[in-house]
Amino acid sequence: MADMRYGLKLSQDATIDQLRAVWRVADDAGFDHCWCMDHLASLGPRDDGPIFEAWTLLAGMAVATSRTRIGCMVTGNTYRHPALLAKAAVTVDHLSGGRLEFGLGAGWAENEHTMLGLPFGSKGDRADWLEEACEIIRSLWTQPRTSFGGTNYKISEAVAEPKPVQQPYPPIWIGGSGRQRTLRITARYADVWNAAGGSPAEVAEASAVLDQRCDEIGRDPAQIRRSVQMRVAEANDELLQRAESYRAVGITEIVLIVAGQNAAGLAEDVADLLPRLREVG
């Protein structure tokens, strides 16, 4: 099994100064990746907390860091046309010198769509949109021109230059655990699968379904790395044990979520624990 890799992600209700501080910790301490979130309103009991636009943040992360890889965990496909998203991703990949990890999901926060008049559709609709978006984005990154006549998106002889720094394109992370659609899309397009939460046993069950979806299309399941997000309350032995429990079911990428007014301090505590985390497994 591959070595464990760890990322940092600052949750919502953060100022720009707090975001910069966590990015600095990720870069200086040698975390493998650093992440923002993609929402248009804050989550939970209140919806009016501070939320910055994700891909603008990623551009800032690209120039504020020099070593850690960067990404959005995960981009909501419903917020942007896939051709625009492909262009934004290439821009960030160039700004960062080829350090982008491209995270994408179907989207789920209905209130964000309602307040802005964005189409939300059913789960099936959003899965359809996601699948078409993956095909369009990958083509725009690799082909001289792209034409696509899907049910939801149509583009004609679209040019997309320059291409990404990373060839053939940045690693694609797909988030979600829908057995019938999301994991099929993951099997076809993803380099990394990000589990939609759950206990190690639940993640293992969904991962086994992903293996089946890969078998159905003749893809080696080992080509898709497995990842999960973990909220961090304290950097202690319990965190190590949680990482070990996910490692035991095949997870090799863990994104550690810090939040609160002392998020940067908590990130530093996690950084102190990083050498021990790397020994997991």
Question: pLDDT tens digits, residue range 139-162?
Answer: 999 999 999 999 999 999 999 999
pLDDT exceeds 90 at position 281 = no
Give the model confidence (pLDDT) of 184-200 as tens digits: 999 999 999 999 889 99
pLDDT exceeds 90 at position 73 = yes
Task: Decide if 232 contacts 239 (C-beta within 8 A).
Answer: yes
Q: Hey, what CATH class is 5-277 in?
A: alpha beta
**Average pLDDT taken over every residue of the chain:** 96
Report the SS3 class of residue 227. Answer: strand
Give the model confidence (pLDDT) of 196-241 as tens digits: 889 999 999 999 999 999 999 999 999 999 999 999 999 999 999 9
| For range 126-151, the mean pLDDT | 97
Which amino acid is located at 148 in the chain? F
Q: Which long-range contacts (CB under 8 A, 24 or more apart) does 217-220 make?
A: 217/187, 217/188, 219/187, 219/188
Q: What is the pLDDT of residue 110?
A: 94
Model confidence at 82, pLDDT cuts 50, 70, 90, reads very high
pLDDT exceeds 80 at position 1 = no
Model pTM score: 0.96
Q: Residues 6 or more apart from 122 whose CB is under 8 A from it?
A: none
Model confidence at 43, pLDDT cuts 50, 70, 90, reads confident
- What percent of the chain is predicted at pLDDT more than 70? 100
Residue 167 DSSP one-character state: S
Alpha-helix runs per DSSP H in the chain = 16-29, 54-64, 82-95, 110-116, 123-142, 182-189, 200-217, 237-247, 263-277
Q: What is the pLDDT of residue 196?
A: 80
Q: What is the pLDDT of residue 62?
A: 98
CA atoms within 13 A on the CB side of 173: 26
Q: What is the pLDDT of residue 86?
A: 98
| For range 27-51, the mean pLDDT | 92
Model confidence at 265, pLDDT cuts 50, 70, 90, reads very high
pLDDT exceeds 90 at position 49 = no
pLDDT exceeds 90 at position 252 = yes
Q: What is the pLDDT of residue 209?
A: 98
